[in-house]
Structure 1
């Protein structure tokens, strides 16, 4: 590309210089010759006037006098009586001369001749000057073309490297600008694309980590159920019961996968329905009791029964499972699940008798990648995200011992919100 720019600019410069230089050279040559002829004509008129003046003053007119006044000229003066006076050296035959004549009313005729060689030398010098300017103009044009080619090609090479980096997965925007509006526009588009690609890559990485964390809890519970089935293989009724529980756990696992896929697409699940809170809580207690029993701990339930909240079953199950898992790992003593009703929400509280949340983590306990021990730091972050997706919220209402509260929408609140969306603003 740089070579093409140089050649095209050079061609344009040469054509422009030739279109300007040739007429200029021709016009300059004509101007030099015209000026030379006019000068000879003025000299002839001057000689006539001088000779006439001397005649009036009755002074003699000699060729030497005239030659001193007009050196380098060959002058022939014809007086009124026919006498001729010559001054200067006569040009040789074949020489190119410029000759002009003048006369007055007293019969004096003057012929002045000038060798055209010096005029031609002036024309040649002028041609050389014009040619030098032409060469200088072409050189300047080539220099400017090289600068412009470098100014255009280097940004394009840089943009090509940026595009190659984006293709290789390095989506960090470079934010370079080059002073060329069109090229800067391309760089700006590439930077925006880099940001979008970085967001997509971050979302993919988050989805992978979220999926690995969220699937761990159902798989752990499923593993425990299968172990129970193996231990109770000699009791068919127990095996059947545990098999049903394992199948339910698999269904929960599939629901979690669907929720994670919806979150990866930045799309709400949209499956929040009125459900009985007792059923979800009882299911989780039943699934987690074996592992708590192995740790010589127990799970207790208290509070108001028969409450109904608008939430997705899989979402509430996952939130409660996350809180139980968090209590198992970080808490101690008995875990209590307390349900109650407030004027605006259905509340499910999960607390234990452990040391609670360290003071330095109280404000960041729901932040991503924040964990008090060797955990992933994703559980509470994802649990809060699931609660928010269903229109509720998850809060730490007491730090020591730790007690978390799930605030869920009541059926009436959900219906009012739906009516406001349908009716629109008043």
Structure 2
């Protein structure tokens, strides 16, 4: 492209120089020739006037007197009746420019000038025109180079940006070039880069969320299968297998919810359900793990609270909190349900060291972790809670208290909420 721009610009300049330059040369040559003829004619008229004045004054006309009146580059011949001709200067050879004038006393003055003087002037004029044309060509080449770089460099840069997008690097460059058309292309590429970056981020986030959300039910299912392999009691095997099948169904629900959230994170199937079902199910699932760790898992507070939401999402959030307390907390883990206004709160607390002060509210940010973990568990739990119409907050740092807020369904006379603390489960 650079070469094409330079060649096209240079061609235009050369055509302009050829058209106007040739015309200028012709005009200047004619002007110089005409000026030389007029100059010689004027010289002849001047010499005639001088000779007339001297003849009328009866002054002596000699070569010495007239030599001072004629330039050295010209030749003059004065013919006076009844006198010998007077020649001044050297008669030029070859082509000359000649002019003749006749005086009142019958004298004739002929002035000649070699045409080489005209040729010299024409040559100097042509040299000046040639220098100007050369400067014009140089200026045109420099201008063409500048314009070519101004257009070709942005195009090369835009091609590199497109290549980067195709190779999986979606970072926008935010470069503009001062050319509206090229800036428009840059805007489109930057917009595409931002959309691709968002799509890649969403895909990576979905993969991370899926791996984290599937790990918890798979761990619980693995523990149930281990319980089955360690017992010979048919009733125990049947009970554990039933629980395992229920966990498989919840695992399927997790997968379906992940796929749904990948399309529209606000899409849900909110229903009214008894919160006790989720709490009991989570305690039953995590009980073997807490027994293995020598720790206790207890619950207290109001029971038979009806809430609105998605049972699977609430179960996943509680599982994330319970697992977080198992991995990072210490002592007894307590689940407490209470009512505040038109909301139901499930508090999960333990007797561990709590959340480090330097983390604070950042504990819900992705990749933020106080220990060697993925750092996305609580972030995923909060996203699930918000997508389901609730919210997850850290109510206290030490000892740690996390609260899951859910919308409360209006109680009925047949199903009142009552406080019946259950015994400690160990």
TM-score range, shorter-chain basis?
A: 0.7 to 0.9
Q: Give 5+ residue unaligned stretches, structure 2.
A: 411-426
Q: Which has the higher contact order (CA 8 A, sep 6+)?
A: 2
Distance 2:33 2:232 in 1: 125
Question: How many Å apart are 1:104 and its aligned residue?
Answer: 5.2
Please say if residues 172 and 194 of structure 1, whose CA atoms lie closer than 8 Å, have aligned partners that are also in contact: yes
Match of 2:418 in 1: none
Calculate the aligned-residue CA RMSD, in Å.
Answer: 2.7
Relative to structure 1, is the Cα distance of residues 124 and 354 closer, same or farther in structure 2, using a 3 angstrom cutoff? closer
1:68 aligns with 2:62: no
Relative to structure 1, is the Cα distance of residues 335 and 89 closer, same or farther in structure 2, using a 3 angstrom cutoff? closer
- Of 359, 376, 379, the residue aligned with 2:377 is 379
Match of 1:421 in 2: none
Q: Secondary structure at the match of 1:359?
A: coil
1:328-381 alpha-carbon deviations (Å, 9 max, x no partner): 222333332222222221111222333333333333222222223322221111
Q: Secondary structure at the match of 2:364?
A: coil
Q: Secondary structure at the match of 2:372?
A: coil
Q: Give 5+ residue unaligned stretches, structure 1.
A: 413-426
1:254-285 alpha-carbon deviations (Å, 9 max, x no partner): 22223333444463233222222122222212
* Residues 311-350 of structure 1: pairs in structure 2 closer than 5 A: 311-350=309-348
Please say if residues 253 and 312 of structure 2, whose CA atoms lie closer than 8 Å, have aligned partners that are also in contact: yes
Question: How many Å apart are 1:46 and its aligned residue?
Answer: 0.8
Match of 1:246 in 2: 244
Match of 2:138 in 1: 139
* Residues 26-425 of structure 1: pairs in structure 2 closer than 5 A: 26-71=26-71, 72-79=73-80, 85-88=85-88, 91=91, 95-103=94-102, 107-178=106-177, 180-232=179-231, 234-235=233-234, 237-265=235-263, 267-411=265-409
Please say if residues 392 and 403 of structure 2, whose CA atoms lie closer than 8 Å, have aligned partners that are also in contact: yes
Question: How many Å apart are 1:253 and its aligned residue?
Answer: 1.7
Q: Give the structure-1-normalised TM-score.
A: 0.86
- The size of the alignment, in residue pairs, is 409
Match of 1:19 in 2: 19
Please say if residues 332 and 353 of structure 1, whose CA atoms lie closer than 8 Å, have aligned partners that are also in contact: yes
Question: How many Å apart are 1:296 and its aligned residue?
Answer: 3.2
Question: How many Å apart are 1:33 and its aligned residue?
Answer: 0.5
Q: Secondary structure at the match of 1:69?
A: coil
Distance 2:341 2:361 in 1: 27
Question: How many Å apart are 1:39 and its aligned residue?
Answer: 0.6
Please say if residues 345 and 408 of structure 1, whose CA atoms lie closer than 8 Å, have aligned partners that are also in contact: yes
Relative to structure 1, is the Cα distance of residues 86 and 252 closer, same or farther in structure 2, using a 3 angstrom cutoff? farther
Distance 1:234 1:365 in 2: 44
Q: Secondary structure at the match of 2:358?
A: helix
Distance 2:227 2:6 in 1: 82
Please say if residues 97 and 114 of structure 2, whose CA atoms lie closer than 8 Å, have aligned partners that are also in contact: yes
Distance 1:382 1:118 in 2: 98
1:15-67 alpha-carbon deviations (Å, 9 max, x no partner): 12112211111111111111101111211221121122112222122344334
Q: Give the structure-2-normalised TM-score.
A: 0.86
Please say if residues 277 and 309 of structure 1, whose CA atoms lie closer than 8 Å, have aligned partners that are also in contact: yes
Q: Secondary structure at the match of 1:377?
A: coil
Match of 1:423 in 2: none
Q: Secondary structure at the match of 1:309?
A: strand
Q: Secondary structure at the match of 1:356?
A: coil
Please say if residues 47 and 69 of structure 2, whose CA atoms lie closer than 8 Å, have aligned partners that are also in contact: no
Q: Secondary structure at the match of 1:304?
A: strand
The 10-residue stretch of structure 1 (346-355 or 379-388) with the greater mean CA deviation from structure 2:
346-355
